[in-house]
Every structure is written in C-alpha cells, then in structure tokens.
C-alpha cells in the first residue's frame, strides 16, 4: 500500500527524496520504495524518517 | 607454455581485482548498504546460487545422456561461475542494490567496459594467431575470454537500461 502520508509530510517541508534519503542514511530508491508501498521499513528506519520529518510514527506509518 | 601464460594471466587478473577492491575500500571505507539493499542482495545471492545449481545439474544431465562433454573442465567450471555471478549482479542492478551508498557507479562502469574490451581483444588476438576455441569438438579455455567479455557487456547493458529507466521515472517519483 502506498504511503501518501510520508510523501505529503516530505512535500510539506519542501524536501526532495534524495535529501530525505541523505538525512536518514539510505538510498533514494529506498525512500521511493517506501512511498510506493513496495518495501516495509524496519522500526528503526521508520523512527529515523519520523525524526527527519518532525513527525510521529502515528502520523506517517501507523494505519488509521 | 600456454598453460603457464594462462596461469600468469589469471594470477595477475585476480591480484588486480583484489588490489582494486582494497584501494576502493580505502578511499570511502567499507561498502555501506541500507536495509532494503541488503535484503535485495540476499535475494540476489540466492538467485545466483540457484542459477549455478541448475547449470551444474544441466551439465551433469548432458554428460549422462550423451556420454560426452561439450567443453573442457576449465570452461565448464568458469561458465557456471560467470552465469551465477551475472544472475547476482543483474538482480542487484535491477533492485538498485549493486552500488553501495558510498560508491560511485562511474568507476565501476568504466572498469566493466575496460575488462570487456581487454577480454575481447585478448580473445581476438588468439584467433588472429590461428588458435581455435574448439578442440576435438569441445570448447577449450580460449573461449573464456569471449565469455568474460560477453558477461561484462551484459552487465553494462543492464546498467545502461537501469539508468535510462531511473531517469524516466525520476520526475514521476518526485
């Protein structure tokens, strides 16, 4: 399932996929795969992404 | 004499690969892959293993059915290695897991191109000297240069296709 909340949280900060990837320490393709729903990140990676975007796990990754 | 030259060539080739691996590591540290890449590489290793296994089984079946060999033992062994390696590398390239986070694709691409050209040139020089890649109807070790050149060409094509697809998808992904 696509992660549109991640995409919109990133867009709200005007952050590119590459910038988020660099900040989190993964490849740009990994961020793409997460946003497309092709890859389920580990909890650690989820937390790193939330920290980079200033959001909580509920905001971005937990199902509503 | 020819076997000595082959052994020297293989030794120099292996030494070069080991030297280049350590040199590349020294500049940017050990290769760093993210968790998705590590997972993709694990699947690629498995694919390479399966390809090698199928090749070996097919080889054994061919021998059992025909009671003859289509290539000498050196070619047989190396072809299995080439096929397994190609399967691994192509799978990694397809899943953006071949190059580490701290690696630059350009130097590897250049290395592939140089190795393809060197092997092709070496093979052609053997043919020019009147050597044949067949001995008693079997492929001999002189075919290895062509096989290796073909392997690197396939890898270069995989890299080029992936690069073109990534460029196409870049704007859509953003």
Nearest to B173 among A25, A27, A32 (CB): A32
Give pLDDT, residue B15: 74
DSSP sequence for B38-104: HHHHHHHHHHHHHHHHHHHHHHHHHHHHHSS-SB-HHHHHHHHHHHHHHHHHHHHHHTT-SS-TT--
Give pLDDT, residue B106: 85
Give pLDDT, residue B131: 84
* Shortest distance, CA B105 to any CA of chain A (angstroms): 13
Residue B111 CA, distance from chain mean position: 12
The more confident residue out of B107 and A43 is A43
| Mean of all residue pLDDT scores within chain B | 86
In the predicted model, is pLDDT for residue B57 greater than 60? yes
Contact A2, A36 (CB under 8 A): yes
Rounded CA separation B99/B94 (Å): 11
Q: Residue B171 is encoded by which pair of tokens?
A: 């704007």
Residue of chain A nearest B101, judged by CA positions: A27
Confidence band of B76 (pLDDT split at 50, 70, 90): very high
Nearest to A26 among B34, B173, B174 (CB): B34
Handedness of CA B94, B100, B102, B104 (dihedral sign): negative
Backbone angles phi, psi at B73, to 5 degrees: -55, -35
Rounded CA separation B112/B152 (Å): 6
Give pLDDT, residue B12: 74
* Shortest distance, CA A5 to any CA of chain B (angstroms): 14
Residue of chain B nearest A11, judged by CA positions: B174
3-state secondary structure of B157: helix
Confidence band of A46 (pLDDT split at 50, 70, 90): very high
Within 28-57 of A, beta carbons closer than 8 Å to B belong to: 29-30, 32-33, 35, 39, 41-42, 45
Rounded CA separation A50/A56 (Å): 6
pLDDT digits (tens, 9 = 90+) for B19-47: 766 665 555 667 889 999 999 999 999 99
Q: Which residues of B are less than 8 Å from A39 in CB distance?
A: 36
Give pLDDT, residue B169: 73
With CB atoms and an 8 Å threshold, state whether B35 touches A27. Answer: no
Give pLDDT, residue B173: 55
Q: Which residues of B are less than 8 Å from A42 in CB distance?
A: 35
Chains A & B: contacts with CB separation below 8 Å: 29
A39 C-beta neighbours (distance < 10 Å), count: 18
Give pLDDT, residue B45: 97
pLDDT digits (tens, 9 = 90+) for B147-173: 999 999 999 999 999 989 888 777 555
The ipTM is 0.90
Cα separation values, A9 from A27, A56, A63, B40, B86, Å:
18, 11, 15, 27, 39
Q: Which residues pair with B139 in a beta bridge?
A: B71, B134
Instruction: Check CB contact of A19 with chain B, cutoff 8 Å.
Output: no
Give pLDDT, residue B129: 86
B7 C-beta neighbours (distance < 10 Å), count: 10
């Amino acid at each position: 399932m696509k992660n549109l909340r991640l995409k919109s949280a990133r867009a709200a900060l005007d952050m590119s996929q590459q910038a988020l990837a660099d900040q989190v320490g993964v490849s740009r393709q990994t961020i793409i795969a997460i946003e497309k729903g092709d890859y389920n990140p580990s909890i650690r990676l989820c937390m790193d992404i939330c920290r980079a975007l200033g959001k909580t796990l509920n905001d971005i990754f937990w199902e509503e | 004499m020819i076997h000595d030259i082959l052994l020297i060539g293989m030794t120099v080739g292996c030494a070069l690969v080991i030297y280049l691996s350590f040199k590349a590591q020294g500049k940017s540290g050990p290769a760093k892959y993210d968790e998705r890449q590590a997972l993709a590489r694990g699947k690629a290793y498995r694919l390479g293993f399966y390809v090698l296994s199928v090749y070996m089984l097919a080889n054994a079946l061919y021998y059992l059915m025909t009671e003859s060999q289509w290539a000498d033992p050196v070619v047989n062994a190396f072809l299995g290695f080439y096929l397994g390696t190609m399967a691994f590398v192509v799978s990694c390239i397809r899943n953006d897991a071949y190059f580490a986070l701290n690696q630059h694709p350009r130097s590897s691409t250049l290395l592939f191109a140089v190795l393809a050209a060197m092997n092709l040139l070496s093979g052609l020089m053997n043919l020019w000297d009147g050597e044949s890649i067949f001995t008693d109807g079997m492929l001999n070790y002189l075919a290895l240069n062509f096989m290796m050149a073909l392997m690197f060409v396939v890898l270069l094509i995989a890299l080029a296709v992936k690069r073109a697809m990534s460029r196409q998808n870049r704007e859509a992904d953003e």
